[in-house]
Amino acid sequence: MNIPEPRSVNCADICRDGGTYVVLYLDKIGDFYEVELPVIIDSSSAGWHRIGYKPPIFRGYDPKIQGKIRAERQLSWEEGLAIRKKLVPLLSDNIGMGGRSRAEEMFELILSKGELPRINGVRLD
């Protein structure tokens, strides 16, 4: 995938849907793009639990109309890794909302292809 060359990561956070991650970045000409990592929830047992993540979704926003999505595409894990490779070097302590730590969490989940971390074989949710 040919993604617009990033200039800065502007914000990162986790959504209230149970754990979807979102990172917003600006490209070299000032247009906004979003990478979303949708959570997978298991609600079949008592309560609900995160069980992993789906491959990332990439969105481009219309620079003339705030909030209007101009393009959206489901990515493969390999494409997610390519975006991760371009965005990780741009992480700083000046990232808004959930900050650098949320972006780092998301990029680790992309690296693991949506698998939650495990300790002694037990998935952390």
Q: What is the pLDDT of residues 31-54, one digit of tens each?
A: 889 999 999 998 876 677 888 999
The pLDDT tens digits for 83-120 are 999 999 999 999 989 999 999 999 999 999 999 877 65
Measured distance CA(46)–CA(44) in Å, rounded: 7
pTM reported for the whole predicted model: 0.87
Domain boundaries, the chain: 6-114
Distance CA 35, CA 38 (A): 10
pLDDT > 70? residue 122:
no
Token pair belonging to 17: 């849907």
Please say whether the beta carbons of 73 and 4 come within 8 A.
Answer: no
